[in-house]
Amino acid sequence: MAAKTSVASTAGREIAATRIFAAPRELVFSMYTDPKHIGNWWGPRGFTTTTEEMDVRPGGTWRFVMHGPDGRDYRNRIVYLEIDLPSRLVYKHDPEKGTEPVNFEVTITFADLGDETEVAVRMLFPSAAAREHVAQKYGAVEGLSQTLDRLAEHLAIVRSGKA
């Protein structure tokens, strides 16, 4: 008797993007894990980010506040699940009590292309409805694109020596 294989579909449950950055992989990876850099680019255009705590290790937590252009603050908590320096970062968006219960898991891979790095971001939601809620209410699809744009801009500044 053949063993049964069960494969869970992620159709309709994810938001994903891939971008190539003009910087070596170790530098790009550090942009995601060094609080001195992340506040310069994290979030869509018009947002600023204040890191309250960043403990980059499996089980460690990153607590931060995204300050919106409308004056609203969005508290966030991320729990790191996997860190494979400099090729892979996996974390769970795990909101604290009193904030909207938006849960999802993010996997980011960093492919070494020499002087460039291909970054692939995949946000996986528990359901298609949860994905749609975040896409509609928070503009997550466009927000991810703008965040990656801002990362490219910050990397250019860092590489020029002006940061």
pLDDT tens for 85-139 read 999 999 999 887 777 778 999 999 999 999 999 999 999 999 999 999 999 998 9
* pTM, rounded to two decimals: 0.90
Q: How much is the pLDDT for 34?
A: 96
- Residues in a beta bridge with 63: 53, 77
The one-letter amino acid code at 53 reads E
The domains of the chain, with CATH numbers, are 15-160 (3.30.530.20)
- Distance (Å, whole) CA 65 – CA 75: 4
pLDDT tens for 10-35 read 779 999 999 999 999 999 999 999 99
Q: Dihedral angle at the C-alpha atoms of 101, 79, 134, 30, nearest 10 degrees?
A: 160
